[in-house]
């Protein structure tokens, strides 16, 4: 008796695009048996697809998805879009994430989206229905290219052993190169919700604030001796303020180096500009003014905004600046700016904000809400940032190096400094003088809010803001002369874009960054042209689709384009 024959036939997965083709052809009158023969599938498979056609039509697959083994709802797709946005935020902030952290956030976002849709979670549509399994995570990694930002196991936490080893290496470098505290600088970014007040104030209780739009990012930098603070880099979501625009024409008048992008992120481009336009000149002036050798060391963590080859981008006149990166997963332990400096800065910011509010409203009929609405702007905030940064003491800046460079920390108390512990009490006192119900716990809670995780609603707002503001800027710019553009040109251009984006996605080493950049470019630059093909004329692009002499009407062209597009889908 011979060996049993084993079938080598494997289950074939069906591409989502093919499922759409089958549904479209059946709706156009093609029989099930003919579809089965054409696609080499059984009639039962074709019937199963047709039974689920409404669910399949509702799927808007995330970029990169070709095969769907289980039907994915719109909540799954939106969850992955928001999750990728959250991951990018974490990466740009220099935070480390693990598989378990990502899966936990995915389940939370999915649950929030289901709640938004149904109002409450049912047994069938609960966040438990999405397990964020290992299989889902592996597929999510493949189609988004997030391999480079995910850590595993203990490596994801603060690496104490690596930190201890680096302290020894740092000490040897300092001794070998002969650096003194005045020549060694540290820089780090921090988020600031500049319109936040304690949760219990009636402003926060009665007004729906816009947390993402109210966030800005600051890069703070000072030396180890604490006597040289560099002008901060500030990144906000826009440059809408007239005062800011007038100041940025003469940047030395502004207390910060102002830059803008839709998500208020410090990018590599902005950071390099800050190094060459602010840090380099500031350090050179300080060293020469104090008759110190022209040499400096800048200590950074490995956040994405800090190019690993930063020294190559520094101008020749500042080639005396050397850059040293902290090892991965040691920033929380060793980064001097994380050792209470940013926390003390935010306490001082809150104190000056309260004091400014008190001074404006005292002896007037202004209410606190009226002050918040009409007398507190981003330009006012910049002035308060300057006062707060000026108020961070030499003692605070110097003691921040205790873990990385303990030998340099002075034990004496500077007479001109004021212990930051007293600042919280001052904030409470000013708040009570304005009739606010606030205590020390509220102040500490407020400081912690600046580091809170983005909620699902905030991620959705961030996504909407990213598209809306860029499109608003595009529509606000009037072209000098009208152009004529035809559907054939648009289709040709979109075809070239697909080839270019596919090549970049496959070949570029930085998958996450390029995926985000391609998606933003596609949404902001190409969506208006796609809408023209679909007949959704938007904004200032209405005039682009003009009737050619002797040709069909515009409506006819759009209608035919839509029919052809549906057939291709």
335-362 per-position pLDDT tens digit: 999 888 998 999 999 899 989 988 888 8
| 401 & 540 share domain | no
Residues 288 and 166 both lie in one domain: yes
Residues 6+ apart with CB under 8 A from 199: 205, 442, 445, 446, 449
Say whether pLDDT at 223 is over 60: yes
The pLDDT of residue 557 is above 80: no
Q: Is residue 133 part of a domain?
A: yes
> Poorest-confidence range of 338-347, 423-432, 460-469?
460-469
| pLDDT for the residue 283 | 97
pLDDT at 484: 65
Same domain (yes/no): 348, 495: no
Q: Average the pLDDT over 508-512 and give the result.
A: 72
In this prediction, residue 363 carries a pLDDT of 80
- How many residues can be counted in the chain? 569
Instruction: Enumerate helices (H) and strands (E) in the chain, giving the number of each.
Output: 25, 8
pLDDT value at 245 more than 70 = no
End-of-domain residue from the set 157, 182, 215: 157
**What pLDDT shows up at residue 104?**
86
322 and 356 together in one domain: yes
Tell me: do 165 and 152 sit in the same domain.
no
Question: What pLDDT, on a 0 to 100 scale, did the predictor assign at position 551?
Answer: 38
Percent of the chain, pLDDT > 70? 68
Same domain, 142 and 249: no
Residue 458 lies in a domain: no
Give a yes or no: residue 375 inside a domain: yes
Domain co-membership, 153 together with 166: no
pLDDT at 394: 92
pLDDT at 560: 47
pLDDT of residue 92: 56
More confident of the two residues 52 and 43:
43
Residues 378 and 350 in one domain: yes
Contacts of 336 (CB under 8 A, 6+ apart): 186, 188, 224, 299, 397, 400, 401, 404
Q: String of b and e for 302-328 (b: at least 16 CB within 10 Å)? A: ebbbbbeebeeebeeebebbbbeebbe
pLDDT at 122: 44
Residue 388 has pLDDT above 70, yes or no: yes
Answer yes or no: is 64 within a domain.
no
pLDDT mean across residues, the chain:
76
Q: What pLDDT does residue 293 have?
A: 96
Evaluate if residue 536 carries a pLDDT over 50: no
Whether the Cβ atoms of residue 483 and residue 544 lie closer than 8 Å to each other:
yes
Give the separation between CA 52 and CA 32, rounded to whole angstroms: 14
Q: Is 485 a member of any domain?
A: yes
Residue 510 lies in a domain: yes
Instruction: Look at residue 35 and tell me whether its pLDDT is greater than 50.
Output: yes
Q: In the prediction, which pLDDT does 266 show?
A: 87
**More confident of the two residues 193 and 291:** 291
pLDDT at 372: 79
Judged by average pLDDT, the poorest of 256-270, 354-368, 448-462 is 448-462
- Number of CB atoms found within 10 A of residue 384's CB: 20
pLDDT of residue 561: 44
Q: Which domain holds residue 254?
A: 160-449
Alpha helix positions (H), 362-377: 368-374
Residue 384 lies in a domain: yes
Q: CA–CA separation, 185 vs 278, rounded Å? A: 13
What was the pLDDT predicted at 99? Answer: 81
pLDDT band at 95 (very low <50, low <70, confident <90, very high): low
On the question of pLDDT at 96 being above 70, the answer is no
Is residue 264 classed as helix, strand or coil in its secondary structure? coil
What's the confidence (pLDDT) of residue 17? Answer: 77
Query: What is the Cα–Cα distance from 311 to 323, expressed in whole angstroms?
Result: 7
What is the DSSP-derived secondary structure letter of residue 298?
A: E
Domain count, the chain: 4
Q: Is residue 5 part of a domain?
A: no
Task: Give CB contacts under 8 A, 24+ apart, made by 201-204.
Answer: 201/368, 201/436, 201/437, 201/438, 202/368, 202/369, 203/368, 203/369, 203/372
What percent of the chain shows pLDDT beyond 90?
24
Task: For residues 305 and 324, give the distance between their C-alpha atoms in angstroms, rounded to a whole number.
Answer: 15
- The CATH number covering residue 42 comes to 1.10.10
Band of the pLDDT at 443, cuts 50, 70, 90?
Answer: confident
pLDDT attached to residue 227: 95
Please tell me which residue, 414 or 293, carries the higher pLDDT value.
Answer: 293
Query: What pLDDT is stored for residue 469 in this prediction?
Result: 47
How high is the pLDDT of residue 234? 95
pLDDT of 269 strictly over 70:
yes
Domain boundary among 157, 188, 205: 157
Q: Which of 112, 140, 157 is the last residue of a domain?
A: 157
Cα 217 from Cα 266, distance rounded (Å):
7
The pLDDT value recorded for residue 250 is: 46
The arithmetic mean of pLDDT across residues 492-499, rounded, is 87
Is there a contact between 271 and 306 (Cβ–Cβ < 8 Å)?
yes
> How large is the average pLDDT for residues 52-70?
58
Greater confidence, 545 or 356?
Answer: 356
367/341 same-domain check: yes
* Higher-confidence position of 18 and 513: 18
Same domain, 148 and 259: no
Question: How confident is the model at residue 397, as a pLDDT?
Answer: 94
Q: Are residues 558 and 431 part of one domain?
A: no
For range 382-387, the mean pLDDT: 94
Residue showing tokens 């799954």: 76
Question: Confidence band (pLDDT; 50, 70, 90) for 542?
Answer: very low
* pLDDT, tens digit, 9 for 90 and up, residues 152-211: 444 445 578 889 999 999 999 999 999 999 999 999 998 888 887 766 554 444 444 455
Task: For residues 265 and 178, state if they share a domain.
Answer: yes
């Amino acid at each position: 008796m011979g060996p049993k024959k084993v079938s080598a036939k494997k289950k074939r997965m069906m591409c989502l695009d093919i499922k759409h083709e089958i549904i479209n052809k059946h709706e156009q009158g093609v029989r099930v048996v003919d579809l089965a023969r054409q696609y080499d599938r059984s009639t039962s498979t074709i019937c199963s697809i047709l039974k689920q056609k409404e669910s399949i039509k509702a799927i808007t697959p995330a970029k990169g998805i070709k095969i769907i083994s289980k039907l994915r709802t719109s909540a799954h797709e939106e969850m992955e879009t928001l999750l990728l946005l959250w991951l990018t935020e974490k990466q740009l902030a220099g935070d480390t994430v693990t598989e378990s952290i990502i899966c936990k956030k995915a389940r939370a976002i999915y649950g929030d989206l289901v709640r938004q849709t149904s109002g409450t979670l049912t047994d069938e549509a609960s966040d438990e229905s999405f397990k964020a399994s290992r299989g889902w995570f592996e597929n999510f990694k493949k189609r988004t290219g997030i391999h480079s930002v995910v850590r595993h196991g203990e490596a994801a936490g603060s690496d104490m052993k690596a930190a201890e080893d680096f302290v020894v290496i740092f000490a040897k470098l300092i001794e070998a190169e002969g650096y003194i505290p005045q020549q060694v600088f540290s820089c780090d970014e921090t988020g600031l919700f500049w319109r936040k007040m304690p949760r219990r104030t009636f402003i926060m209780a009665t007004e729906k604030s816009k947390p993402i739009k109210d966030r800005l990012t600051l890069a703070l930098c000072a030396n180890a001796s604490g006597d040289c603070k560099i002008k901060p880099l500030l990144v906000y979501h826009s440059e809408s303020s007239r005062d800011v625009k007038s100041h940025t024409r003469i940047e030395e008048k502004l207390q910060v180096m102002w830059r803008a992008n839709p998500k208020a992120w410090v990018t590599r481009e902005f950071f390099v500009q800050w190094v060459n336009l602010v840090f380099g000149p500031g350090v050179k002036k300080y060293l020469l003014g104090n008759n110190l050798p022209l040499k400096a060391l800048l200590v950074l963590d490995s956040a994405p905004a800090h190019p690993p080859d930063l020294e190559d981008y520094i101008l020749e006149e500042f080639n005396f600046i050397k850059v040293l990166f902290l090892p991965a997963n040691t920033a929380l332990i060793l980064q001097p700016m994380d050792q209470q400096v940013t926390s003390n800065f935010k306490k001082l910011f809150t104190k000056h904000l309260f004091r400014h509010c008190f001074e404006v409203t005292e002896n007037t009929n202004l209410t606190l809400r009226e002050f918040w609405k009409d007398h507190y702007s981003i330009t006012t905030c910049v002035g308060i940032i300057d006062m707060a940064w000026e108020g961070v003491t030499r003692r605070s800046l110097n003691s921040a190096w205790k873990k990385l460079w303990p030998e340099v920390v002075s034990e004496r108390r500077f007479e001109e400094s004021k212990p930051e512990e007293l600042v919280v009490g001052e904030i409470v006192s000013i708040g009570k003088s304005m009739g606010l119900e606030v205590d020390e716990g509220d102040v500490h809670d407020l400081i912690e809010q600046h580091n809170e995780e983005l909620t699902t609603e905030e991620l959705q707002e961030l996504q909407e803001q990213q598209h809306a503001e860029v499109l608003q800027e595009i529509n606000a710019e009037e072209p000098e002369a009208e152009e004529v553009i035809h559907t054939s040109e648009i289709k040709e251009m979109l075809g070239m874009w697909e080839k270019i984006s596919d090549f970049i996605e496959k070949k570029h080493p930085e998958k996450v960054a390029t995926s985000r950049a391609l998606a933003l470019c596609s949404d902001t630059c190409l969506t208006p042209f796609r809408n023209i093909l679909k007949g959704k004329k938007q904004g200032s692009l209405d005039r682009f689709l003009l009737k050619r002499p002797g040709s069909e009407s515009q409506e006819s062209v759009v209608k035919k384009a839509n029919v052809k597009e549906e057939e291709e889908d």
